[in-house]
C-alpha cells in the first residue's frame, strides 16, 4: 500500500451544461455516480420509459468453492434479459466444473488462461479439447460435459440460451448419485453397493483436482468415433473485419456449425471510436464488456431513449430491434461481446440504409443537406471513427 492519500476525484453534480438540475448534497454514493455520468447527467435527448439495461457482475453474489468461483446475471438480476443468461467463472489449476448437463445450450468465451473441456453425445461419440484465450465452446442442450482448469487456471464467460437459467440449478452427476438408492446404483453398474460408500452427499458443483496430463494421455477411443461437428471454435484467431475505428469478428452457425442457437460478435472499439447506429432484425442483444469503458443509448420508439455507461465486467442488453450505438468513452480500447439467441448474426446499419434509399426521400424526410447525403456510405462500417468529430463526448 502506498502512503499517499487516494487521488481526489472531483465530485460530479447532477447539473447539465444549460444549468438544469441542482447539486446533490447527499446521501449519495459518489463512486457509483462517477461510474454512471450519463445517468447522473443524462443527455438532453434521453426521455420516456425504458427498463434497466445494465447489470454488473460486481453486483452479484459469488459462489466460492475449493477449485474456483462463479457468479451469474440472469433474469433475476436483470429482468429484461429473457433470451440469455450469463455466468462468469474461474477455475484454479486443476479445478473442475463437475460432470453435468442442462436443458439449455451453453455458449462460452475463454477470457484468460486455459481449460480442458469434455463431452459425449447421444450416439456415444466423444469430444475432448483444450481451449485458450479467445476460444469458444458450444454444448447443445442436454449434452453432458465438464470443464477443468489447466496449468495457469482460467476465467471464462458462459452464456445460456434462456434468461431464467441458473448454473447452480443444473443436472449434476454427484447430485444424481446422491439421490439414487444405493441398491439401484449397484444394480445399474453391476458392482456391490459398498462401491458407493464414499460418494458425495450433495451436488459438488466445483472441486479441486490436480492438473490433468496431456490431452493425448486422457483421450478415450470411442467405438462410435468422435462428434461430427466440433464443440470448439477459435474466435480470436478469426481474421477480423477491420473498419475505421476498430474491428469485428462474427461467429454463428455459418462458421461454427454446432452453434445453432447462439450468434455473436467480438467487437473492438478504439479510443474516440464508436459502434455505429444500428439495430438487429433477429433478436435481443446481450452484451458483455471485456475491457475499457463506453456508453450506449437505446432508442425504443415513441420518443423514448435512455443512456447507460458500461465498463469491463458489465452486462448490457438491447431489446429486439431497438436502435443503439456504443461509444468508447475511455482512453483504452473497448472490447465487448454482442450475443444473440439466434442461428445467425444480423444487423442493419442506419448509415447504409439511408445511403441505399432514394436521396430525395431521405433529404425531405430529415431536412438534411446535400453534403450530408454525399457523406453516406453504401458499405457497412460497423465501427467508425472520424477524427475531429468526437467533441462533446465526456472522456473519463
Ligand atoms: Mn454447463
Ligand atoms: Mn448491436
Residues 349, 276 contacting (CB under 8 angstroms):
yes
Distance 195 CA to ligand 1 centre (A): 27
Separation of CA 76 and ligand 2 centre (Å): 23
Element (H, E) at 39: helix 37-40
Same structural domain for residues 270 and 160?
no
- Residue 152 φ/ψ, nearest 5 degrees: -95, 10
CA of 268 to the centre of ligand 2 (A): 13
- Domain assignment of residue 91, yes or no: yes
Band of pLDDT at residue 392, cut at 50, 70 and 90: low
* 303 part of a folded domain: yes
Bond preceding residue 27 cis, omega within 30 of 0? yes
C-alpha to C-alpha distance for 195 and 13, rounded to whole angstroms: 67
Q: Which ligand is closest to the CA of 382, given by its number?
A: 2
Q: What H or E segment, with its residue span, contains residue 216?
A: helix 215-218
As a whole number of angstroms, the distance between CA 245 and CA 235 comes to 20
Residue 374, in any domain of the structure: yes
> What is the distance in A from the centroid of ligand 1 to the CA of 385?
39
Q: Are both 220 and 269 inside the same structural domain?
A: no
Q: Do both 228 and 242 map to the same domain?
A: no
Is the same domain home to 306 and 375?
Answer: yes
Q: How far is the CA of 62 from the centre of ligand 1 (A)?
A: 17
- Which pLDDT value is given to residue 1? 44
Ligand nearest to the CA of 317: 2
Counting ligands in written order, the one closest to the CA of 325 is 2
Residues 253, 185 share a domain: no
Average pLDDT in the chain: 96
Q: Which ligand is nearest to the CA of 144?
A: 1
Domain assignment present for 45: no
Residue 20 lies in a domain: no
Are 132 and 243 within one domain? no
Q: Using alpha carbons, list the distances in angstroms from residue 354 to 111, 233, 303, 311, 367.
A: 37, 35, 21, 31, 13
| Same domain for 169 and 273 | no
**Nearest listed ligand to the Cα of residue 337:** 2
Ligand 1 is an ion; its neighbours by CB within 5 Å are 106
CA 284 – CA 309 distance, rounded (Å):
19
pLDDT digits (tens, 9 = 90+) for 151-161: 999 999 999 99
Rg (CA), the chain: 24
Residues 221 and 153 in one domain: yes
Bridge partner residues of 260 (DSSP):
none
Nearby residues of 297 by Cβ (< 8 Å), 6 or more positions away: 43, 45, 46, 305, 306, 307, 308, 324, 325
For the record, the C-alpha cell of 389 comes out as 468529430
The verdict on 201 and 254 lying in the same domain is no
Residues 77 and 184 grouped into a single domain: yes
Q: Which residue range(s) make up the domain with 195?
A: 59-233
Question: pLDDT at position 151, please?
Answer: 97
DSSP calls for 333-372: -EEEEEEESSSS---EEHHHHHHTS-HHHHHHHHT--HHH
| C-alpha 56 to ligand 1 mean position (Å) | 22
Q: What is the number of domains present in the chain? A: 2
Mark which of 233, 262, 278 sits at the end of a domain: 233
CA of 145 to the centre of ligand 1 (A): 7
64/194 same-domain check: yes
Please list the active-site residues.
338
Ligand 1 midpoint to CA 125 (Å): 18
For the stretch 283-328, pLDDT in tens is 999 999 999 999 999 999 999 999 999 999 999 999 999 999 999 9
- Check: pTM over 0.85? Answer yes or no: yes
In the predicted structure, residue 8 carries a pLDDT above the cut 80: no
CATH code of residue 294: 2.60.120.10
Query: Model confidence over 181-229: pLDDT tens digits?
Result: 999 999 999 999 999 999 999 999 999 999 999 999 999 999 999 999 9
Separation of CA 101 and ligand 1 centre (Å): 6
Q: With pLDDT > 70 as the criterion, what percentage of the chain qualifies?
A: 96
The three cell numbers locating residue 268: 473492438
Last residue of a domain, one of 172, 201, 233: 233
Amino acid at each position: 500500500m502506498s502512503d499517499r492519500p487516494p487521488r481526489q476525484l472531483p465530485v460530479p453534480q447532477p447539473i447539465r451544461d444549460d444549468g438544469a438540475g441542482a447539486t446533490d448534497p447527499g446521501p449519495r454514493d459518489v463512486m457509483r455516480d462517477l461510474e454512471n455520468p450519463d445517468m447522473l447527467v443524462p443527455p438532453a435527448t434521453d426521455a420516456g420509459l425504458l427498463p434497466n439495461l445494465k447489470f454488473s457482475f460486481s453486483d452479484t453474489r459469488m459462489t466460492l468453492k475449493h477449485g474456483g468461483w462463479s457468479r451469474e446475471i440472469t433474469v433475476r438480476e436483470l429482468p429484461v434479459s429473457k433470451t440469455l443468461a450469463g455466468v462468469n467463472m474461474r477455475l484454479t489449476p486443476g479445478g473442475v466444473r463437475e460432470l453435468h448437463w442442462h436443458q439449455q445450450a451453453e455458449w462460452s468465451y475463454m477470457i484468460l488462461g486455459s481449460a480442458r473441456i469434455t463431452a459425449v453425445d447421444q450416439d456415444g461419440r466423444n469430444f475432448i479439447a483444450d481451449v485458450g484465450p479467445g476460444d469458444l465452446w458450444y454444448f447443445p442442450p442436454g449434452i453432458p460435459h465438464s470443464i477443468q482448469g489447466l496449468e495457469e487456471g482460467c476465467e471464462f464467460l458462459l452464456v445460456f440460451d434462456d434468461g431464467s437459467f441458473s448454473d447452480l440449478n443444473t443436472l449434476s452427476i454427484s447430485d444424481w448419485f446422491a439421490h439414487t438408492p444405493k441398491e439401484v446404483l449397484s444394480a445399474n453398474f453391476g458392482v456391490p453397493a459398498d462401491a458407493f460408500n464414499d460418494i458425495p452427499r450433495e451436488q459438488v458443483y466445483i472441486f479441486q483436482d490436480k492438473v490433468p496430463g496431456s490431452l493425448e494421455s486422457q483421450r478415450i477411443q470411442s467405438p462410435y468415433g468422435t462428434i461430427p461437428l466440433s464443440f470448439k471454435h477459435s474466435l480470436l484467431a478469426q481474421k477480423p473485419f477491420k473498419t475505421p475505428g476498430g474491428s469485428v469478428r462474427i461467429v454463428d452457425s455459418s462458421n461454427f456449425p454446432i452453434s445453432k442457437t447462439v450468434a455473436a460478435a467480438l467487437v473492438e472499439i478504439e479510443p474516440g471510436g464508436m459502434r455505429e447506429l444500428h439495430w438487429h432484425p433477429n433478436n435481443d442483444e446481450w452484451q458483455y464488456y471485456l475491457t475499457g469503458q463506453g456508453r450506449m443509448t437505446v432508442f425504443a420508439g415513441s420518443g423514448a431513449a435512455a443512456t447507460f455507461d458500461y465498463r469491463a465486467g458489465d452486462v448490457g442488453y438491447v431489446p429486439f430491434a431497438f436502435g443503439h450505438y456504443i461509444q468508447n468513452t475511455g482512453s483504452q480500447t473497448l472490447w465487448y461481446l454482442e450475443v444473440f439467441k439466434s442461428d445467425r448474426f444480423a444487423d442493419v446499419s442506419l448509415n447504409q440504409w439511408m445511403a441505399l434509399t432514394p436521396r430525395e426521400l431521405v433529404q425531405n424526410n430529415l431536412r438534411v443537406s446535400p453534403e450530408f447525403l454525399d457523406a453516406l456510405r453504401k458499405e457497412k462500417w460497423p465501427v467508425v471513427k472520424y477524427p475531429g468529430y468526437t467533441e462533446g463526448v465526456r472522456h473519463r
